[in-house]
Amino acid sequence: MNQNTGDFLRVASAAPELRVADVGFNAAQILRCLQAAARDGASIVLFPELALTGYTCGDLFSQALLHERARTHVVELARATSTLGLHAVVGLPVAHHGRLYNCAAVLGAGRVLGLVPKVYLPTTAEYYEERWFTSAAGMGLAEVALGNERVPLASQLLFEDLSSGCTFGVEICEDLWAVHPPSGDLCLAGANLILNPSASNELLGKSAYRRDLVRQQSARCMTAYAYAGAGPGESSTDVVFSGHCLIAENGALLAESSRFKFDSQIVYADIDVGRLLHERLCNSSFSAGSATAAFRRVPVALTANAQAKAPRGTLRPNPPLPFVPADPRVRADTCQEIFSIQSTGLAKRLKHTGAKNIVLGISGGLDSTLALLVAVRAFDLLGLDRKGILAPTLPGFGTTKRTRSNAEKLVELLGATLRVIPIEAAVRQHFSDIGHDPQVHDITYENAQARERTQILMDLANKVGGFVVGTGDLSEAALGWCTFNGDHMSMYHVNSGVPKTLVRYLVEWCADAEFTGPTTDVLRDIAATPISPELLPVNAKGAQQQQTEEVVGPYELHDYFLYHIVRHGSRPAKVLYLAEMAFGKKYDRATILRWLEVFVRRFFSQQFKRSAMPDGPKVGSVALSPRGDWRMPSDASAALWLDETRALQTES
């Protein structure tokens, strides 16, 4: 698959209009759905269980005429896939050697490529499939004559497209609800897409259970999972069907249809095959498993209409802020959970050391503010006096009145112990000692201030019998935007797992949910303060001209790059493809590529800082601790990633 399409495959799940036992009508509706899906760029279309005949035919399933018409029409539908350029899974009854099987026919390239019979036949309550059908359990591989071809009939079939990396398998309705679903073995044998044609009737609460079942099975198998339920055209003699169609990927629901619609319904989603393959490669539990059955592999070539209105990759979530939930309620719950993880981690460290005091440098910026709030919660959890939080402000050459004032107010309002320790004189003495001209505002000028602050914090911790709590965040660790053995170092780094784009929301959440009155006002002003290390001198008006994002790049882009490169193993071409869709017109291609190169270069070159990171709690699926999620040599080469990034710049 072309690297710029990002490994995406468009899957459709359809519940066509249906008449029970009217095979010609049903085939016509299926064809119309196929034609619509082809126009919309789908590569595979899934239809419900026994979609050609209807699931509720009852004893009509014993009629040879019904079988004959279904076989005729499935061959005709197969021929249509050749001109439409897609694949389909269509349900029908198949008679073989005196037995009738509830099958899913896989169609593509003008042919019936395989027939997958159902394994688990429900025969309880309203279901009694064993009256008509035979289970595929233990049947082995058989062949059935369809048209002029012999077609494999077996539950152990895998359909493999080597060009896209997609391998798909089929399980039917009750198979998913079983204790040992066939999808488990299918995925262990290589399937990364499971297609489930189903006929699950509606009962009170069943739709939510079904939705969770599909989503959870996709997570358990680290796969994409499409489900197509029989629609309300099925007989309502005793039960009602709704046409519930779902598409999930690795635990996330990507698409869901409306229910109880008599006309044809189709939902689409772009599954990310590359992401699924990466997830499995990184999961030792998956690699330790093995399928309990042998599978026959059927080659397929999954194509799609390149002229579809929606480009591949657009029919799936792709938020520009992947660490920040867009839904305010979900975001609030996320902030509460992260804040609890951070404060509990620090409380555990306090309990372990027996310390009653900590030292935390407070600047009036976002990161140190969040660390201070976490410390307050940890002290409250343990019933410790907040005065044990020694929170010095350490104003230097670039400290503004706004940040200093906010820092001092916040410490006093929270009941911590404030110390004001200016560092200008000490740093000037240091410049004199090492022979540095203080008018030269280079990296020595900046880092000397950061290290002086850390020295003061460490010595204060010794003096009060406590330890230093660090304030740097995950994004700074990714970029190495910290001074080695300066703000890079502490005894416990409470923000080490929190990306910069989420820090602001955490502070704002604290302002809304944890504090009131003047404290809330100060927190809101801190959240509105531009991000700056405040290491360069202020201007004549006392304002700080050093803006971090003007130097290192927008944090929203860097957090986006971090999420896709580290969490999902995406190459630069794929990151660019996704970022252009996510950020629309906010950043043009050249800007994204400029900062992507900065991210790649800094991420590799600054690994030595992460290799010496202090302890700190992991809060999300992306973490960079050298003891946990990210083990990379400090001298690894970035050449492959930089070469591709620069090649993309040349193309544009």
- Catalytic residue numbers read 49, 118, 173
The distance between the two most distant Cα atoms of the chain, rounded to a whole number of Å, is: 99
**Residues in CB range of 445: below 8 A, 6 or more apart:** 431, 436, 438, 535, 536
Q: What is the DSSP letter of 564?
A: I
CA distance 621 to 600: 20
Other C-beta atoms within 10 Å of 512: how many?
Answer: 13
Q: Which helix (H) or strand (E) holds 390?
A: strand 389-393
User: Rounded to an integer, what is the distance from CA 183 to the centroid of its chain?
Assistant: 22
Question: Which of 312, 247, 249 shows the shortest CA–CA distance to 12?
Answer: 247
Radius of gyration, alpha carbons of the chain? 30
At 362, give phi and psi (nearest 5°): -115, 125
- Tally the C-alpha atoms within 13 A of residue 263's C-alpha that lie toward its C-beta: 1
Residue listed under structure tokens 């990306």: 499
- Tally the C-alpha atoms within 13 A of residue 306's C-alpha that lie toward its C-beta: 3
CA distance 299 to 503: 48
3-state secondary structure of 574: helix
For residue 541, CA distances in Å to 287, 313, 349, 397, 404 come to 61, 48, 43, 14, 15
The pair of three-digit structure tokens given for residue 610, joined into one six-digit string: 């992460």
Question: Which of 87, 109, 238, 234 shows the shortest CA–CA distance to 168?
Answer: 87
State the distance between the two ends of the chain, measured CA to CA, in whole angstroms.
Answer: 20
The pair of three-digit structure tokens given for residue 472, joined into one six-digit string: 């740097």
The pair of three-digit structure tokens given for residue 292, joined into one six-digit string: 């309990």
Question: Which of 27, 349, 397, 49 shows the shortest CA–CA distance to 199?
Answer: 49
User: Rounded to an integer, what is the distance from CA 155 to the centroid of its chain?
Assistant: 31
Beta bridge partners of residue 152, listed in sequence order: 143
Q: Which helix (H) or strand (E) holds 153?
A: strand 149-153
User: Rounded to an integer, what is the distance from CA 540 to the centroid of its chain?
Assistant: 46
What does 415-467 look like in DSSP terms, one character per residue? T-EEEE---HHHHHHHHHHHT--TT--SHHHHHHHHHHHHHHHHHHHHHHT-E
